[in-house]
Amino acid sequence: MGINTVAVIGLGYIGLPTAAILASKDVTVVGVDVNLSTVEAINRGDVPFVEPDLAMYVAGAVQQGTLRATATPEPADAFIVAVPTPFRGDHEPDLSYVESAAKTLAPQLRGGELLILESTSPPGATRKMAEWVLEARPDLSLDGADGHPQIHVAHCPERVLPGRVMIELVTNDRIVGGLTPEAAQMAKDLYAIFCQGEILLTDAVTAEMAKLVENSFRDVNIAFANEISLIADRVGVDVWELIRLANHHPRVNVLQPGPGVGGHCIAVDPWFLVDAAPEQARLIRTAREVNDSKPRWVVDKAVAAVEGIEAPTIAALGLTFKADIDDLRESPARRIVAELADRLPRAQVLAVDPHVQQLPAELARRENVDLGDLDQALGADVVMVLVDHSDFRTALTEDATGRISVIDTRGVLA
């Protein structure tokens, strides 16, 4: 069957851009989200978060009538599930959002539909989603057995960078893994509507693993840089100069250290591999532990820097997980500010971020944390550079910071 209508379940940082770009190609798209304010914003042609060019795509598609949003699924030729897949407890994958999406869309199926799990997932999650659908709809099947109408299920993980999503959705290669070869080909045909990169076909579990391996590779390399920063600090060496010199070797490319690792992918996905094979994923686990421990090291540095000051003011520059976006997911800066405020109850912690208009809830409820501006920050006893926003790189010079203590976790002053 041809695909004329697509339902996108989950209108977050991946679901909404995917819905908008499909709608821009004259596909009729219904976006589904449990957050009513998100639904209402999209139906007005607005976007609930900042991503370059996304607002233009959404406004145009809504105006053309190819995109609308609702709180409950409707019948469609294809369903793309793009819901959160966090972890819980001792870093076990939490597939409850996927399960909820599967059971919610199941009543809308009539047979022949394509179901795609786009959420980054542990091995076996795509098949599990199919099982949840078939539990709710035993009259359907994956193979047409016993004359039951067939559904087609595939996994296609997103591979985009926040801040470049609308570009990379089009230009990046995609990996598509099906529970059957037919499902994989159907999913490839759907993504080919807008994807100019190569679309690579495989099975569903390999596709799931590929995304986890990509992000774990990054995490391990960041952990190496973060560990080097700890060693350099211990022996009194400028880590930025050290890495710059080491990278002059033709076969060395050390990444830049930071205050930890954030975002919805790199800080989460490696744990899915650890959970899948805990005895084998030793290096991956250690890298996660190194990166997860870096925020505590930054807090310790700040506490030491204000020792002897009865009621210090400490400025934290940046709250988002990376530069020049408003995405706060898994941000190590949030953890640093919260822990510092708790460790130093008599201190005033000024959080400064040009992309954040209000403090996240866990910071707003701490009485000694306030949202400040850069001028206020430069009058603090200690300044922590936690995110390398462009505004900070422009404003932070040796002249501006020469009289204050600076903990530069991003190499802005290097």
Q: What CA dihedral angle connects 205, 211, 212 and 216, to 10 degrees?
A: 150
Q: Are strands 152-155 and 174-178 parallel, antiparallel or unpaired?
A: antiparallel
The tokens of 173 are what? 């290669």
Mapped onto helix, strand or coil, the DSSP state of residue 307 is coil
Q: Are 91 and 271 in contact (CB under 8 A)?
A: yes
- Placement of tokens 């959404």 in the chain: 58
Q: What is the 3-state secondary structure (H, E, C) of 336-348?
A: HHHHHHHHCCCCE
What distance in Å separates the CA atoms of residue 125 and residue 119, rounded to the nearest whole number? 10
Active-site position among 188, 211, 294, 322:
211
Among 223, 231, 239, 233, which Cα is nearest to 413's? 239
Amino acid of residue 117: L
Which two three-digit tokens encode residue 350?
Answer: 């000024």
Q: Where are the beta strands (DSSP E) in 142-216?
A: 152-155, 174-178, 199-203
- Tell me how far apart the alpha carbons of residues 321 and 295 are, in angstroms, rounded to a whole number: 12
C-alpha 370/C-alpha 28 separation (Å) is: 45
Nearest to 82 by CA among 27, 150, 138, 157: 157
Q: Which of 195, 265, 294, 322 is catalytic?
A: 265
List phi, psi (to 5°) of 88.
-140, 170
CA distances from 245 to 63, 158, 196, 232, 410 (A): 53, 35, 38, 13, 17
Chain centre distance of CA 351: 22
> Is 265 an active-site residue?
yes
Helix axes 332-343, 282-305, angle to 10 degrees: 40
Active site (annotated) includes residue 195? no
Q: Which amino acid is at 103?
A: K
- CA 62 to CA 53: how far, in whole Å? 15
Active-site residue list: 211, 265
